[in-house]
Amino acid sequence: METIKVVVQGALGRMGREVISTLCREPGMQPVGAIELKASENQLRLPDGSATIPFSADLDYILSRCQPDILVDFTTAQATMAAVRTATKQGINLVIGTTGLSAEELDEIDQLATAHQVGAVVAPNFALGAILMIHLAKIAARYLEYAEIIELHHPKKADSPSGTALATAKAMAAARGRPFSKPPEKGALDSRGRQIQGIAIHSVRLPGLLAQQEVIFGAPGQTLSIRHDTISRECYMPGVILAIKEVTKHKGLVYGLDSLLGL
Ligand SMILES: NC(=O)c1ccc[n+]([C@@H]2O[C@H](COP(=O)([O-])OP(=O)(O)OC[C@H]3O[C@@H](n4cnc5c(N)ncnc54)[C@H](OP(=O)(O)O)[C@@H]3O)[C@@H](O)[C@H]2O)c1
């Protein structure tokens, strides 16, 4: 089996560091280069101390020099799109975890990946438990009339509501073919969260939290809660590794891990 060569963009970020550590341990994969806005040296020492790899803020330079099979990106939407435009031209496949990409940006990723015959997996959540939470919520959505979502994250999170909460609400409404109902309410209604398809999404940002989400369904006389807790960023790594293994089998955009997991 040939070793899969991977460059990581956002290499000094919280996710980028975790990805590089995981790649060092993963048989059949090798981190061969790293891109980071604040790269000050031209080599990055791998966390296991086994080697150093080329390191720069210059995307073109690292991709041309390292010739990876895959670019993994956990940065910002702007940095992601710059990487997509350059990497697809060079025939490099993409695994993207950056959240907050617009529908237009996803369309552009699909067009560029298709035109250059490479795969691009974009997953707003790589945690397998979170993907299963959404899958189970889609099943329950067909049977229960009322639902709300509470998402809880660390205070450095850039977006609110989270991309996962928005995607969950949209997937739940699509699964039932119509928006959720709002129960008749009384009293002051100035704190009911972001309304998406009849679902109120409540965002909590507190030190001590990493990422959690609870989908609560209501019906007369009963509730059903489906909850996922992220304990550490390790939870994202099996999903990232799966995407790295699978991405080269596809041409164009693969959005989310559902199809790769057979859901
Ligand atoms: N899909 C998932 O499962 C998942 C899970 C967790 C997080 N995320 C998403 O992943 C992204 C990164 O999260 P994080 O927690 O790792 O954030 P982070 O710690 O802020 O890391 C992002 C890193 O990317 C760097 N960066 C920004 N622009 C860049 C550019 N043009 N070129 C190269 N590097 C650049 C940042 O540098 P500076 O600090 O200098 O700006 C930072 O080191 C966010 O969108 C987050 O929502 C996705």
**Degrees (nearest 5) of the Cα angle 76, 170, 133?**
85
Whole-angstrom CA distances from 119 to 143, 229, 255 are 36, 30, 11
Round the average pLDDT of the chain to a whole number and report it: 95
Query: Per residue in 127-159, pLDDT tens?
Result: 999 999 999 999 999 999 999 999 999 999 888
Q: For atom 15 of ligand 1, which residue has the closest CA?
A: 14
Active site residue 154: no
The pLDDT of residue 100: 84
Burial of 129 (0-12, 13-18, 19+ CB in 10 A): middle
pLDDT over 90 (residue 3): yes
Pairing of strands 211-219, 222-230: antiparallel
Q: Which atom of ligand 1 is nearest to the CA of 236?
A: 3
The pLDDT of residue 159: 83
Query: Per residue in 22-31, pLDDT tens?
Result: 999 999 999 9
Domains 4-122+234-261 and 128-231 share a fold: no
Residue 153: beta bridge partners? 205, 211
The pLDDT of residue 191: 86
The pLDDT of residue 240: 98
Pocket of ligand 1, beta carbon within 6 A: 9-10, 12-16, 35-38, 74-76, 79, 97-100, 123-126, 236
The pLDDT of residue 50: 87
The one catalytic residue among 89, 116, 157, 170: 157
**Residues 19/72, Cβ–Cβ less than 8 Å:** yes
**Residues 128/261, Cβ–Cβ less than 8 Å:** yes
Tell me which residue has tokens 């939290």.
209
Q: Taking the CA atoms of 32, 34, 35 and 40 in sequence, report the sign of the dihedral they define.
A: negative
Name the CATH superfamily, with its identifier, for domain 128-231.
Dihydrodipicolinate Reductase; domain 2 (3.30.360.10)
Whole-angstrom CA distances from 114 to 60, 76, 91, 202 are 21, 22, 11, 37
CA pair distance 45, 136, nearest whole angstrom: 42
Q: Which has more confidence, 189 or 49?
A: 49
Tell me which residue has tokens 């970020």.
13
The pLDDT of residue 89: 96
Whole-angstrom CA distances from 175 to 85, 140, 168, 171, 178 are 33, 9, 10, 6, 8
Q: Which atom of ligand 1 is nearest to the CA of 78?
A: 31
Choose the CATH number for 4-122+234-261 among 3.40.50.720, 2.40.10.10, 3.40.50.300, 3.30.470.20.
3.40.50.720
Q: Where are the chain's structural domains?
A: 4-122+234-261, 128-231
Query: Per residue in 8-19, pLDDT tens?
Result: 999 999 999 999
Q: What is the CA(225)–ligand 1 centre distance, in A?
A: 31
Percent of the chain with pLDDT over 70: 100
**Residues 121/242, Cβ–Cβ less than 8 Å:** no
Model pTM above 0.95? no
Query: Per residue in 33-71, pLDDT tens?
Result: 999 998 988 999 999 898 999 999 999 999 999 999 999
Q: In terms of residues, how long is the chain?
A: 263
pLDDT over 90 (residue 227): yes
